[in-house]
Amino acid sequence: MSVFKSNPAGNDKSTPVAFVTGAGSGIGAAIAERFAKEGWDLVLVGRRQEALTETAKRLSAQTGKPSDALTTLSLDIADPDSVSTLSRWLKANENVSNRIQCLIHNAGIYERASSLQSTDTSWHRIFEINLFAVIRLTQVLYPCLKQNRGSMIAVSSTLGLRPVKETGAYAASKAALNNWVQTFALESAIDGVRANAVCPGIIDTPIHGFHTASNKEDTLKVLAPMQPLGRIGQPHEVASMVWHLAGPGSEWITGTLIPVDGGISLV
Ligand SMILES: NC(=O)c1ccc[n+]([C@@H]2O[C@H](COP(=O)([O-])OP(=O)(O)OC[C@H]3O[C@@H](n4cnc5c(N)ncnc54)[C@H](OP(=O)(O)O)[C@@H]3O)[C@@H](O)[C@H]2O)c1
């Protein structure tokens, strides 16, 4: 049975901790916000320290959590040294690492290229960040999840369920991620650790050029009809499903790949 004690003030021995990668922007920042509002403490991970600090400051203002309940960890998950850096950090911060109950693999990169034009370098980089780093971090953090009978949630993509043209490397990396999440769910169930993936459709975040473009409204008019529900999604709508999978009521859910996409994967 998982422990879902929450303490909005944060950072005591019973407050669960969520470890969120890519928490400095977009979906990851929204996930961190949702968990903070539900009373969890957070480890906010990404490369850009200033973006993580910004997220932590905003969450502290919104929830009243003290800064030591919102830890930031600047880490390039593509760097092979990230494993030893993270291991050292977990040891040095046992007051936080002992409470990690949810690992959310959200960091990811997206590139468009046709199969004939995509380069080896690009395929390697996309797989490194979207898949291999996820597996490496899970290996390092598994003792925390096991100890707390927690769960792992991967932010995948509808493109991993159903590709569209010119997204070959990205879609393949997310399809592999989906498959691995299910393998891991089978392997970790014996320890009471659950694993699920959320597959967003088109979400309004900095991963897309249109997010800050001056002609954004025109782009949204083109994108909206692609979804049966008539609009693209917002980061908090993905965060809701991630929270649902981590929070109380999902203790019997593992190995699922859940689209959060306005219905785009149906058409
Ligand atoms: N937006 C969409 O339409 C959409 C749809 C389906 C799936 N997704 C998935 O959702 C996830 C979040 O993306 P987003 O849309 O929120 O875009 P985003 O704002 O660009 O977020 C991506 C995050 O990943 C982090 N990141 C990238 N490379 C990293 C590395 N090597 N080490 C550590 N952190 C790294 C970035 O932080 P730093 O730059 O600071 O490192 C950034 O905060 C991704 O996995 C993406 O594939 C997004």
Alpha helices in the chain (DSSP H): 26-37, 49-63, 82-92, 94-97, 120-127, 133-147, 168-188, 216-223, 235-246
State which of 27, 77, 86 you would mutate to test the pocket of ligand 1, scoring each by most atoms of that ligand within 8 A of its C-beta.
27
Cβ–ligand 1 distance for 157 under 6 Å, the answer yes
Task: Read off the pLDDT of residues 218-257 as tens digits, 9 standing for 90 and up.
Answer: 999 999 999 999 999 999 999 999 999 999 999 999 999 9
Name the packing angle between helices 133-147 and 82-92 (round to 10°): 20
Atom 41 of ligand 1: nearest residue by CA position: 47
Q: Which residues contact 198 (CB under 8 A, 6 or more apart)?
A: 153, 154, 155, 156, 238, 241, 242, 245, 258, 260
Domains of the chain: 17-266 (3.40.50.720)
Pairwise CA distance, residues 199 & 157, whole Å? 4
For the record, the structure tokens of 77 come out as: 């998950």
Q: What's phi and psi for 193, nearest 5 deg?
A: -100, 130
Q: Which residues contact 121 (CB under 8 A, 6 or more apart)?
A: none
Task: Read off the pLDDT of residues 120-171 as tens digits, 9 standing for 90 and up.
Answer: 999 999 999 999 999 999 999 999 999 999 999 999 999 999 999 999 999 9
Pairwise CA distance, residues 21 & 10, whole Å? 20
Report the Cα 261 to chain-centroid distance in Å.
16
* Residue 75 pLDDT: 98
Pairing relation of β-strands 100-105 and 257-260? unpaired
Atom 34 of ligand 1: nearest residue by CA position: 46
* Residue 8 pLDDT: 41
* Residue 5 pLDDT: 40
Contact 198, 240 (CB under 8 A): no
Q: What's phi and psi for 222, nearest 5 deg?
A: -75, -40
Pairwise CA distance, residues 164 & 262, whole Å? 16
Cβ–ligand 1 distance for 160 under 6 Å, the answer no
> What's the gap in Å between 156 CA and the centre of ligand 1?
10
* Residue 13 pLDDT: 73
Provide the sign of the torsion angle of the four alpha carbons 57, 33, 138, 119, taken in this order: negative
Cβ–ligand 1 distance for 24 under 6 Å, the answer yes
Contact 204, 232 (CB under 8 A): yes
> What's the gap in Å between 130 CA and the centre of ligand 1?
9
* Residue 46 pLDDT: 98
Atom 2 of ligand 1: nearest residue by CA position: 203
Residue in 205, 186, 195, 206 with CA at minimum distance from that of residue 245: 195
Evaluate if residue 109 carries a pLDDT over 50.
yes
* Residue 12 pLDDT: 63
> What's the gap in Å between 108 CA and the centre of ligand 1?
4
Averaged pLDDT, 194-214: 98
Task: Read off the pLDDT of residues 2-51 as tens digits, 9 standing for 90 and up.
Answer: 334 444 444 567 999 999 999 999 999 999 999 999 999 999 999 999 99
* Residue 6 pLDDT: 40
Name the packing angle between helices 168-188 and 133-147 (round to 10°): 20
Q: Which residues contact 132 (CB under 8 A, 6 or more apart)?
A: none
In angstroms, the Cα distances linking 130 to 11, 106, 137, 207, 265 are 30, 9, 12, 14, 20
225 in helix, strand or coil? helix
Task: Read off the pLDDT of residues 51-106 as tens digits, 9 standing for 90 and up.
Answer: 999 999 999 999 999 999 999 999 999 998 999 999 999 999 999 999 999 999 99
Counting from 1 in the atom list of ligand 1, the atom nearest the Cα of 238 is 10
261 in helix, strand or coil? coil
